[in-house]
Structure 1
Amino acid sequence: MNTNIIYKTGVFPTIHQIIDLYANAGLKRPVADIARMEKMYAHSNLIVTALDNDVLVGISRAMTDYSYWCYLADLAVNTRYQKRGIGRQLIAHTKAAAGEECMLLLLSAPTAMTYYPQIGLRHLQNAFGVDREK
């Protein structure tokens, strides 16, 4: 783990910092649609950031009721900072902020299916979805 990394809860970086991080990390989100990205963050109630000397190097975006569930919608780490435990720490800080009564849930990108079990998340097979219309 990188000891220079500072984790902050409830800090909202600029949307341009977030978009740059998502693009660098390869997260498939509508980064060309700034208004939609802003809306995604405006309606998320648990944000954890990873900062290296005030440079955004990782982020966790979640929605939670702080009593039963926490949905981790996005986890992004700058490619130069990957494999240093930052993703694991972002998840740990997200879970801690949501509280011990909460179950943390996420949908994995196909490329990350092997990552989450390696850091202690249990694979679930009971999710369903309705696709986006646009």
Structure 2
Amino acid sequence: MSIEYKINKKITSAQFITLLKSSTLAERRPVDDHDCIDGMLANSNLLISAWDNKQLVGIARSITDFHYACYLSDLAVHVDYQKAGIGKELQITTQAQLGSKCKLILIAAPNANKYYEHIGFTNNKRCWVLERGSRIGS
């Protein structure tokens, strides 16, 4: 298997949705809302993708200032390609695009905590999320 990694290669919402559905991430992403998916792709400023020939098999989708913080919003690898180092390489390639002081930040899927700890991330209990529809100050 020869995987090619690409930086900021344009991918379609259909390719992204197919990958999300073939990984474990679709259950936590709006795969039925094409406008939202289009916006997610259009407004990401760092996109690392993994390809097996013409098939998208992995993605690291981030929003970053490249100097202080990089939010890795989506890390997905097709189930048939998992445990082959693709996710790790997507993160390494993401990190290589960032300045020396830039932190890589993510919210782990429920079953992924041990994975991130294993590859060197530290747990930060200070993350807070305000769900859409919730009101500030209520």
Bin for the TM-score computed over the shorter chain: over 0.9
Separation (CA, whole Å) in 2 of partners of 1:112 and 1:98: 23
Residue of structure 2 equivalent to 1:31: 31
Identity %: 42
* 1:75-90 pair list within 5 angstroms: 75-90=75-90
Structure with bigger RCO (C-alpha 8 Å, 6+ apart): 1
Matches within 5 A, 1:8-19: 8-19=6-17
Runs of 5+ consecutive residues of structure 1 not aligned to the other structure: none
Alpha-carbon distance between aligned partners in 2 of 1:132 and 1:26, rounded to the nearest angstrom: 22
Which residue number in structure 2 is paired with residue 55 of structure 1? 55
Tell me the amino acid that sits aligned with residue 14 of structure 2: H
Larger radius of gyration: 2
TM-score by structure 2 length? 0.91
Count residues with an aligned counterpart. Answer: 132
Distance in 1 (CA, whole Å) between partners of 2:74 and 2:89 is 14
Tell me the residue number matched to 1:22. Answer: 20
SS across alignment from 1:114: helix
CA distance, structure 2, for counterparts of residue 66 and residue 85 of structure 1: 24
* Distance in 1 between residues matched to 2:72 and 2:98, nearest whole Å: 10
User: Structure 1 stretch 75-84 or stretch 121-130: which is displaced more?
Assistant: 121-130
TM-score normalised over the length of structure 1: 0.93
Detail structure 1 runs of 4+ shifted over 3 Å in the superposition. none
* Deviation for aligned residue 1:26: 2.1
Structure 2: any 5+ residue segments left out of the alignment?
Answer: none
